[in-house]
A and B are shown apart, each in its own frame.
Chain A
Amino acid sequence: MTAETDHGIGEAVAARIERRWATLSIAIVGVLVGMAAFIGIHQAAMPQGHVETADPKTLHLSGEFIESNLGSAVEPDGSVTVRAIGQQYSFTPQCVVVPAETPINFRATSADVVHGLLIEGTNINTMLVPGYVSVLPIRFKAPGEHVMPCQEFCGIGHQGMWGKVKVVDKSAFLSMTAARRRLTCVD
Protein backbone atom coordinates (compact mmCIF):
# COMPACT_ATOMS: atom_id res chain seq x y z
CA MET A 1 0.00 0.00 0.00
CA THR A 2 1.44 3.40 -0.91
CA ALA A 3 1.73 6.35 1.44
CA GLU A 4 -0.85 8.31 -0.65
CA THR A 5 -3.46 5.57 -0.30
CA ASP A 6 -2.76 5.36 3.45
CA HIS A 7 -3.29 9.11 3.69
CA GLY A 8 -6.58 8.85 1.81
CA ILE A 9 -7.86 6.13 4.16
CA GLY A 10 -6.90 8.24 7.20
CA GLU A 11 -8.84 11.21 5.78
CA ALA A 12 -11.86 9.04 5.07
CA VAL A 13 -11.80 7.72 8.66
CA ALA A 14 -11.63 11.27 10.07
CA ALA A 15 -14.49 12.44 7.80
CA ARG A 16 -16.65 9.48 8.86
CA ILE A 17 -16.07 10.14 12.57
CA GLU A 18 -16.84 13.85 12.08
CA ARG A 19 -20.09 13.02 10.29
CA ARG A 20 -21.13 10.67 13.10
CA TRP A 21 -20.28 13.25 15.75
CA ALA A 22 -22.27 15.93 13.88
CA THR A 23 -25.24 13.55 13.64
CA LEU A 24 -25.04 12.85 17.38
CA SER A 25 -24.86 16.59 18.15
CA ILE A 26 -27.92 17.29 16.00
CA ALA A 27 -29.78 14.44 17.73
CA ILE A 28 -28.93 15.92 21.17
CA VAL A 29 -30.13 19.38 20.07
CA GLY A 30 -33.31 17.73 18.75
CA VAL A 31 -33.94 16.01 22.12
CA LEU A 32 -33.42 19.26 24.06
CA VAL A 33 -35.71 21.24 21.72
CA GLY A 34 -38.28 18.46 22.03
CA MET A 35 -38.02 18.65 25.83
CA ALA A 36 -38.61 22.43 25.69
CA ALA A 37 -41.76 21.85 23.63
CA PHE A 38 -42.87 19.09 26.04
CA ILE A 39 -42.31 21.40 29.04
CA GLY A 40 -44.50 24.06 27.43
CA ILE A 41 -47.27 21.68 26.36
CA HIS A 42 -47.44 20.07 29.80
CA GLN A 43 -47.20 23.47 31.48
CA ALA A 44 -44.26 22.56 33.69
CA ALA A 45 -43.13 26.02 32.67
CA MET A 46 -45.29 28.11 30.43
CA PRO A 47 -44.20 31.45 29.06
CA GLN A 48 -47.03 33.95 29.35
CA GLY A 49 -49.10 33.49 26.23
CA HIS A 50 -50.72 36.92 26.13
CA VAL A 51 -49.87 40.51 26.91
CA GLU A 52 -51.87 42.39 29.52
CA THR A 53 -51.29 46.03 30.30
CA ALA A 54 -51.93 48.22 33.35
CA ASP A 55 -51.21 51.95 33.37
CA PRO A 56 -48.69 52.58 36.18
CA LYS A 57 -49.87 56.21 36.48
CA THR A 58 -53.36 55.18 37.53
CA LEU A 59 -52.65 51.85 39.26
CA HIS A 60 -53.66 53.24 42.66
CA LEU A 61 -56.80 54.96 41.35
CA SER A 62 -58.62 52.42 39.24
CA GLY A 63 -58.44 48.89 37.87
CA GLU A 64 -57.64 45.62 39.55
CA PHE A 65 -54.49 46.85 41.30
CA ILE A 66 -56.13 49.41 43.60
CA GLU A 67 -55.03 48.88 47.20
CA SER A 68 -58.32 47.38 48.41
CA ASN A 69 -58.12 44.71 45.69
CA LEU A 70 -54.57 43.52 46.43
CA GLY A 71 -54.01 40.17 48.14
CA SER A 72 -55.57 36.74 47.68
CA ALA A 73 -59.11 36.25 46.40
CA VAL A 74 -61.06 33.03 45.91
CA GLU A 75 -62.52 32.66 42.42
CA PRO A 76 -65.88 30.97 41.68
CA ASP A 77 -64.02 27.93 40.25
CA GLY A 78 -62.20 27.39 43.56
CA SER A 79 -58.84 28.71 42.37
CA VAL A 80 -57.15 31.64 44.07
CA THR A 81 -55.97 34.84 42.40
CA VAL A 82 -53.20 36.82 44.07
CA ARG A 83 -52.75 40.44 43.03
CA ALA A 84 -49.58 42.24 44.03
CA ILE A 85 -47.58 45.33 43.17
CA GLY A 86 -43.84 45.87 43.32
CA GLN A 87 -42.58 49.37 43.99
CA GLN A 88 -39.35 50.91 45.26
CA TYR A 89 -38.65 49.18 47.69
CA SER A 90 -41.37 46.78 48.77
CA PHE A 91 -44.11 44.49 47.60
CA THR A 92 -47.75 45.18 48.38
CA PRO A 93 -48.92 43.08 50.08
CA GLN A 94 -45.64 42.44 51.89
CA CYS A 95 -46.87 39.02 52.95
CA VAL A 96 -49.04 36.92 50.64
CA VAL A 97 -51.18 34.15 52.11
CA VAL A 98 -52.30 31.28 49.88
CA PRO A 99 -53.79 27.80 50.40
CA ALA A 100 -51.88 24.57 49.74
CA GLU A 101 -53.03 22.14 47.03
CA THR A 102 -54.97 24.80 45.15
CA PRO A 103 -54.37 26.29 41.71
CA ILE A 104 -53.13 29.82 42.23
CA ASN A 105 -52.76 32.60 39.70
CA PHE A 106 -50.27 35.31 40.53
CA ARG A 107 -51.03 38.65 38.87
CA ALA A 108 -48.46 41.32 39.55
CA THR A 109 -47.15 44.53 38.07
CA SER A 110 -44.80 47.36 38.92
CA ALA A 111 -45.75 50.87 39.96
CA ASP A 112 -42.42 52.47 39.04
CA VAL A 113 -39.32 50.71 37.68
CA VAL A 114 -38.58 47.12 36.63
CA HIS A 115 -38.66 44.74 39.60
CA GLY A 116 -38.27 40.99 39.89
CA LEU A 117 -40.60 38.46 41.45
CA LEU A 118 -39.06 35.22 42.66
CA ILE A 119 -40.58 32.72 45.06
CA GLU A 120 -37.96 30.56 46.71
CA GLY A 121 -38.41 26.81 46.24
CA THR A 122 -40.61 27.21 43.14
CA ASN A 123 -40.15 27.92 39.45
CA ILE A 124 -41.77 31.36 39.87
CA ASN A 125 -39.19 33.80 38.61
CA THR A 126 -40.21 36.71 36.43
CA MET A 127 -39.85 40.44 35.95
CA LEU A 128 -42.43 43.01 36.92
CA VAL A 129 -42.37 45.60 34.17
CA PRO A 130 -44.25 48.88 34.63
CA GLY A 131 -47.19 48.96 32.23
CA TYR A 132 -47.49 45.18 31.95
CA VAL A 133 -49.15 42.50 34.09
CA SER A 134 -47.11 39.37 34.82
CA VAL A 135 -49.36 36.32 35.18
CA LEU A 136 -47.96 33.14 36.75
CA PRO A 137 -49.79 29.90 37.57
CA ILE A 138 -48.59 27.99 40.62
CA ARG A 139 -49.66 25.30 43.04
CA PHE A 140 -48.06 24.80 46.46
CA LYS A 141 -47.94 21.21 47.66
CA ALA A 142 -47.60 21.80 51.40
CA PRO A 143 -48.03 24.56 53.99
CA GLY A 144 -44.91 26.55 54.73
CA GLU A 145 -43.20 29.87 54.21
CA HIS A 146 -41.29 31.01 51.14
CA VAL A 147 -39.30 34.20 50.81
CA MET A 148 -40.08 36.41 47.82
CA PRO A 149 -37.15 38.72 47.08
CA CYS A 150 -36.91 41.24 44.26
CA GLN A 151 -34.30 39.71 41.95
CA GLU A 152 -33.95 42.63 39.53
CA PHE A 153 -31.79 45.54 40.67
CA CYS A 154 -34.30 48.35 41.14
CA GLY A 155 -32.35 51.08 42.91
CA ILE A 156 -30.47 51.97 46.04
CA GLY A 157 -32.85 50.11 48.38
CA HIS A 158 -33.10 46.97 46.24
CA GLN A 159 -31.43 44.71 48.81
CA GLY A 160 -34.19 45.49 51.32
CA MET A 161 -37.04 44.56 48.99
CA TRP A 162 -38.23 41.22 50.32
CA GLY A 163 -41.72 39.80 50.51
CA LYS A 164 -43.01 36.55 51.93
CA VAL A 165 -45.45 33.89 50.77
CA LYS A 166 -47.22 32.02 53.54
CA VAL A 167 -48.83 28.77 52.43
CA VAL A 168 -51.55 27.60 54.83
CA ASP A 169 -53.84 24.62 54.97
CA LYS A 170 -56.73 24.89 52.53
CA SER A 171 -59.45 24.71 55.20
CA ALA A 172 -57.67 27.34 57.31
CA PHE A 173 -57.50 29.59 54.27
CA LEU A 174 -61.19 29.15 53.49
CA SER A 175 -62.14 30.02 57.06
CA MET A 176 -60.02 33.16 56.76
CA THR A 177 -61.87 34.17 53.60
CA ALA A 178 -65.14 34.20 55.53
CA ALA A 179 -63.98 37.28 57.41
CA ARG A 180 -62.31 39.24 54.59
CA ARG A 181 -62.74 39.67 50.86
CA ARG A 182 -59.01 40.01 50.11
CA LEU A 183 -56.48 38.16 52.23
CA THR A 184 -52.92 39.01 53.19
CA CYS A 185 -50.77 38.00 56.16
CA VAL A 186 -49.65 41.56 56.85
CA ASP A 187 -50.44 42.39 60.46
Chain B
Amino acid sequence: MINSSPPQATGTEHQSVEAIVRSGPRGAVAVAGVATAVVIALWFAFYLLVFLPRSA
Protein backbone atom coordinates (compact mmCIF):
# COMPACT_ATOMS: atom_id res chain seq x y z
CA MET B 1 0.00 0.00 0.00
CA ILE B 2 1.15 3.48 -0.80
CA ASN B 3 -0.20 5.16 2.32
CA SER B 4 0.58 2.53 4.80
CA SER B 5 1.01 3.74 8.36
CA PRO B 6 4.61 4.09 9.49
CA PRO B 7 5.99 1.32 11.65
CA GLN B 8 5.48 2.06 15.32
CA ALA B 9 8.57 2.28 17.45
CA THR B 10 8.78 -0.27 20.17
CA GLY B 11 9.64 0.65 23.72
CA THR B 12 13.25 -0.42 23.31
CA GLU B 13 13.66 1.71 20.18
CA HIS B 14 12.18 4.70 22.05
CA GLN B 15 14.70 4.22 24.81
CA SER B 16 17.66 4.01 22.46
CA VAL B 17 16.50 7.16 20.59
CA GLU B 18 16.15 9.02 23.87
CA ALA B 19 19.62 7.86 24.88
CA ILE B 20 21.05 9.24 21.64
CA VAL B 21 19.23 12.59 22.07
CA ARG B 22 20.36 12.77 25.71
CA SER B 23 23.99 12.41 24.72
CA GLY B 24 23.71 15.67 22.71
CA PRO B 25 24.22 16.58 19.02
CA ARG B 26 27.98 16.10 19.03
CA GLY B 27 28.18 15.33 15.32
CA ALA B 28 26.18 18.41 14.34
CA VAL B 29 28.29 20.60 16.63
CA ALA B 30 31.47 19.16 15.09
CA VAL B 31 30.31 19.78 11.49
CA ALA B 32 29.00 23.30 12.22
CA GLY B 33 32.09 24.11 14.28
CA VAL B 34 34.51 23.05 11.55
CA ALA B 35 32.50 24.93 8.87
CA THR B 36 32.38 28.12 10.97
CA ALA B 37 36.07 27.84 11.84
CA VAL B 38 36.97 27.52 8.15
CA VAL B 39 34.94 30.63 7.22
CA ILE B 40 36.36 32.73 10.07
CA ALA B 41 39.92 31.52 9.36
CA LEU B 42 39.55 32.51 5.67
CA TRP B 43 38.18 35.93 6.67
CA PHE B 44 41.19 36.60 8.92
CA ALA B 45 43.61 35.20 6.32
CA PHE B 46 42.28 37.60 3.67
CA TYR B 47 42.23 40.47 6.13
CA LEU B 48 45.81 39.97 7.35
CA LEU B 49 47.49 38.68 4.19
CA VAL B 50 45.67 40.61 1.43
CA PHE B 51 43.69 43.57 2.74
CA LEU B 52 46.14 45.09 5.22
CA PRO B 53 49.22 44.87 2.94
CA ARG B 54 47.25 46.71 0.23
CA SER B 55 46.07 49.54 2.47
CA ALA B 56 47.66 52.96 2.70
Contacts and interface: CB of A to CB of B under 8 A. Distances in A.
B18 A10 contact: yes
B6 interface: no
Given A44-B52, A138-B56, A9 B15 contact: no
A123 B56 contact: yes
Nearest to A105: B56
B54 A122 contact: yes
B22 A45 contact: no
B25 A17 contact: yes
Q: How big is the B interface, by class?
A: 20 to 34
A172 interface: no
Q: How large is the interface on A (under 10, 10 to 19, 20 to 34, 35 or more residues)?
A: 20 to 34
The binding surface of chain B is classed by DSSP as helix
B40 interface: yes
A138 B55 CA distance: 7
A48 interface: no
Which 4 residue pairs spanning A and B have beta carbons closest together? A10-B21, A6-B18, A44-B55, A139-B56
Interface of A: 3, 6-7, 9-10, 13-14, 17, 21, 24, 28, 32, 35, 43-45, 103, 121-123, 137-139
Interface of B: 11, 14-15, 18-19, 21-25, 29, 32, 36, 40, 43, 47, 51-52, 54-56
15 contacts: A3-B14, A3-B15, A6-B15, A6-B19, A9-B22, A13-B24, A14-B25, A17-B29, A35-B47, A44-B52, A44-B56, A45-B55, A123-B55, A123-B56, A138-B56
